[in-house]
Structure 1
Amino acid sequence: MTHYRKIIKATTAGFILSFLFLFTGNAVAQDGKAIFSANCASCHALNRDLTGPALAGVEDRGPWGDRKKLYAWIHNPTGFMATDAYTADLKKKFNNNVMTPFPQLSEKEIDAILDYIKTAPPPGEGKTEKEPTEKNASEGDSSLLFGILTLILAIVAFTLLQVNANLRKMADDKEGVGSKEPIPFWRNKTYIAFLTVILFLVGGYLTTKGAIGLGRSQKYQPTQPIVYSHKVHAGINQVNCLYCHGAAQDGKQATIPSVNVCMNCHLAINEYTGTAKIYDAEGNEVNGTAEIQKLYKYAGFEFGKPWDPSKAKPIEWVRLHNLPDHVYFNHSQHVKAGQVQCQTCHGEINKMDEVYQFSDLSMGWCINCHRTTNVKFKDNGFYSIYEKYHENLKNGTFDSTKGITVEQIGGTECQKCHY
């Protein structure tokens, strides 16, 4: 029976190691995707340019064939750019935006991201790439699946251990060797301690993850009373953002346009004749003309007849972007003084049908932007109070190739956003 015991132990160990090998093989790619989603996806897509360039085939471009250079770039973009012409050209191409540094990412984590980018299917292979607003279930997180597989593995392992204990008792009884009755697993202190530690670790991880994400609504895309396509208005028809959100340049809030602003155009436009298809938040095709009729109901307007604006009632839009009450944010400070483009925070809004929250709007996200964004001094009267920086640039005290970041003029001081 001792021989059988060894066989059972070897089989159990082999089963567990084989299962773990299969699990970790998938987990590496999953980890790369998870790290990419957490750190890169707000500015980069795999197969299209966003705030930054598309990352598919990144290691075949510029100096990135050498991963050590990629490590240096990701850890300190501004420092790397000072000695590299390729990244300096990238800065010009993407509206002088410099990538946020990620010194916290280890080389192994960066390797996992690059391996994920390599294994991701190219566009047009199997199915066409969808618009950013469409939901793609196959791209969802597989964490639940891995959790279920881990639970199954744990149950199988405990079952095999119990079988092994029972077989040992049977062998000892047959050989006339006295042995104690095996302790049921629910009374075994070793099992109880092990399960307690596992539950503590899982609970701690979920609690920490939930606390970090508290109040964040990235990718939030509620159903609106009217499907308003930014892709049609701001993209195809090139309506300036400030035509509808004029207060973004002169006030704290960007504001939602009134029905009167919508009717400035739609008094004459009563049907959608564009060739581009419109999709709602669920990815269903929308009849543009029917959405215009919804606007007319809010406006109290009948096409072909004089319109009485006093009959209009507000459209009950669902707000997307919300900051905590203890945070101060001023749109005009960024749009007019800082000359920040709308797409920097809101993504490629000119390619969205129903808008979703592009950035996580976390404190770290804001601070990283202030640390890496250069102040636009040229022809900007708002910054005349910083004459010393003008003088330092003239006399060479500051390196003009690196510029002066928002952080250097106090952009990361607590009272700038909290008061």
Structure 2
Amino acid sequence: MIDHRANVKRTLFSALFFLLLSFGNKISAQDGKAIFSDNCASCHSVFKDLTGPALGGVTARGPWTDRKKLYAWVHNPAGFMQTDPYTQGLKQKFGGAMMTAFASLSEKEIDAVIDYVEKTFKAGPPTAGGGGAPAGAGGAQVIDEKDNSILYGVLTLILAVVALIMLQVNSNLKKLADEQDGIPAYEPIPFYRNKSYITLITLILFVVGGFFIVKGAIGLGRSTNYQPEQPIYYSHKVHAGQNQISCLYCHGGAMEGKHANIPSVNVCMNCHMTINEYTGTAGKLYREDGTEVNGTEEIKKIYAASGWDPATKKYTGKGQEIAWTKIHNLPDHVFFSHAQHVNAGKVQCQTCHGEIQKMDEVYQFADLSMGWCINCHRTTKVNFGGKNGDEGNKFYSIYKKYHDEIKAGTRDSVTVNDIGGLECQKCHY
């Protein structure tokens, strides 16, 4: 008699392994997109130069044809650049900006980012929709990725049916063989009562379910790409981009206080007391759904909120508060000071908020997670000055030890981490 149970078990485990492998590939693709958004998107686009070069086709350029050199560059840009003329040229091309080091990224994570970038690059740039509406706020890439969830579901069902059929065939063959040998037949244990199968299914459900539960729990409270529709259509692209209005003119609190503050309607009226119509010099305005916006009508909403009568050019006293929807939120147990970053640290608004000057309706660019903040503190260098006579930011003058080390040449830079940027009580109190 031939016992087919071992073969059936091997086939079943092979099928399950194939399914988990496919599932893992799907996760890897998603991770590549997430890692790109969290670490790369603030400086790089797939299709165009931003603060850094476009990443599309990167593996065919310069030394990046050698993946090992790419790993070395991502982990330590300053060290790699010392002996590489290609990256030295990039630094000059982009105004002396040095890429941030990402020593915490593993080679597999870098590979996932490259795979995502190359896949997006081959798909081509997104097209504008909605009758000429921009493809995405702030130059964000809108990629129509094919969802393979249905395919994986069908494959899973097929494999499950095949496994059940093979188990039934094995049971019937065993019964026939036992009858020929005169062995009394026993009632087979039903599938739903077989401890081996129950244990295997339980483990699979535990692993898959645990992954999604943990991933969902980590993402609680994060609102990346959150883009509410505001009561008055305000285009940062027109104001900060086209008209070059400084962020600090409207958000003055960012320089001196914890909060950047939403400007009062009186700040709007400083300009719109005389600017009472939108002429369209910056192009037509569109909402995210593609509908066109009448800019002049939106200005009238400002007049209604401030109680301004454009005919008599006087305030009527019948103004009302504008119910703006807050976009960026942090947990109550987290301390964050705009002044510490904007005034002392000289951090640009775009570092956290993305290319705000290219956004019409503002959306949350970064996930504002603890890991995102810590990575920035680990890699961002503060202005301590140097040997060339540059005194640097006087805010850091109390760190005499680091200044002496820089003058002596034993230290070339100081990061936020070095001055206590990773101490828990800095952000949690």
Shorter-normalised TM range:
0.7 to 0.9
Partner of 1:343: 350
Question: 3-state SS of the aligned residue for 1:313?
Answer: coil
Shift of 1:87: 3.4
Point out where structure 2 has 5 or more consecutive residues left out of the alignment: 129-133, 385-390
The alignment status of 1:152 with 2:121, answered yes or no, reads no
CA distance in 2 between counterparts of 1:123 and 1:172 reads 57
The alignment status of 1:185 with 2:206, answered yes or no, reads no
CA distance in 1 between counterparts of 2:104 and 2:151 reads 26
What TM-score do you get using the length of structure 2 for normalisation?
Answer: 0.82
The alignment status of 1:251 with 2:261, answered yes or no, reads no
Question: Which amino acid in the other structure matches residue 209 of structure 2?
Answer: G
Question: Which amino acid in the other structure matches residue 131 of structure 1?
Answer: G
Where do residues 231-380 of structure 1 align in structure 2 (5 Å cutoff)? 231-274=237-280, 275-308=282-315, 310-377=317-384, 378=391, 380=393
Question: Which amino acid in the other structure matches residue 368 of structure 1?
Answer: N
Point out where structure 1 has 5 or more consecutive residues left out of the alignment: none
Question: Is 358-367 or 52-61 further displaced after alignment?
Answer: 52-61
CA distance in 1 between counterparts of 2:23 and 2:372 reads 33
Question: 3-state SS of the aligned residue for 1:329?
Answer: coil
Shift of 1:179: 3.4
Partner of 2:110: 110
Partner of 1:386: 399
Shift of 1:262: 0.8
Deviations 1:144-185 (A, max 9, x none): 446634642453344334442454367458857643333332
Contact 1:346 1:357 in 2 (8 A): yes
Question: 3-state SS of the aligned residue for 2:189?
Answer: coil
User: Residue 126 and residue 342 in structure 1: after superposition, are their counterparts in 2 closer, same or farther (change >3 A)?
Assistant: closer
Shift of 1:231: 0.8
User: Residue 132 and residue 159 in structure 1: after superposition, are their counterparts in 2 closer, same or farther (change >3 A)?
Assistant: farther
User: Residue 406 and residue 84 in structure 1: after superposition, are their counterparts in 2 closer, same or farther (change >3 A)?
Assistant: farther
Question: Which amino acid in the other structure matches residue 343 of structure 1?
Answer: Q
Deviations 1:194-236 (A, max 9, x none): 1110111122112221222222222111221122111111111
Question: Which amino acid in the other structure matches residue 197 of structure 1?
Answer: L
Question: Is 168-177 or 296-305 further displaced after alignment?
Answer: 168-177
Shift of 1:17: 8.7
Question: Is 195-204 or 97-106 further displaced after alignment?
Answer: 97-106
What TM-score do you get using the length of structure 1 for normalisation?
Answer: 0.83
Shift of 1:55: 0.7
CA distance in 2 between counterparts of 1:115 and 1:32 reads 7
Question: Which amino acid in the other structure matches residue 393 of structure 1?
Answer: I
Question: 3-state SS of the aligned residue for 1:265?
Answer: helix
Contact 1:320 1:356 in 2 (8 A): yes
Q: Percent identity?
A: 56
Question: Which amino acid in the other structure matches residue 102 of structure 2?
Answer: F
Shift of 1:76: 2.5
Partner of 2:71: 71
Question: Is 220-229 or 36-45 further displaced after alignment?
Answer: 36-45
Partner of 1:415: 425
Question: 3-state SS of the aligned residue for 1:113?
Answer: helix
Question: Is 282-291 or 247-256 further displaced after alignment?
Answer: 282-291
Paired residues, number = 416
Contact 2:345 2:382 in 1 (8 A): yes
Partner of 1:47: 47
Partner of 2:387: none
User: Residue 180 and residue 355 in structure 1: after superposition, are their counterparts in 2 closer, same or farther (change >3 A)?
Assistant: same
CA distance in 1 between counterparts of 2:212 and 2:122 reads 33
CA distance in 1 between counterparts of 2:236 and 2:378 reads 30
Partner of 2:131: none
Question: 3-state SS of the aligned residue for 2:137?
Answer: coil
Question: Which amino acid in the other structure matches residue 222 of structure 1?
Answer: P
Where do residues 13-32 of structure 1 align in structure 2 (5 Å cutoff)? 32=32
CA distance in 2 between counterparts of 1:344 and 1:120 reads 23
Question: Is 38-47 or 223-232 further displaced after alignment?
Answer: 38-47
Shift of 1:276: 2.0
Question: Is 318-327 or 337-346 further displaced after alignment?
Answer: 318-327
CA distance in 2 between counterparts of 1:40 and 1:106 reads 15
CA distance in 1 between counterparts of 2:155 and 2:102 reads 31
Deviations 1:237-266 (A, max 9, x none): 111111111111121110001001111111
User: Residue 305 and residue 179 in structure 1: after superposition, are their counterparts in 2 closer, same or farther (change >3 A)?
Assistant: farther
Shift of 1:387: 4.3
Shift of 1:348: 0.4
Question: Which amino acid in the other structure matches residue 372 of structure 1?
Answer: T
Contact 1:162 1:185 in 2 (8 A): no
Question: 3-state SS of the aligned residue for 2:153?
Answer: helix
Question: Is 8-17 or 322-331 further displaced after alignment?
Answer: 8-17
Question: 3-state SS of the aligned residue for 2:398?
Answer: helix
Question: Which amino acid in the other structure matches residue 352 of structure 2?
Answer: C
CA distance in 1 between counterparts of 2:24 and 2:210 reads 22
Question: Is 113-122 or 191-200 further displaced after alignment?
Answer: 113-122
Question: Is 70-79 or 105-114 further displaced after alignment?
Answer: 105-114
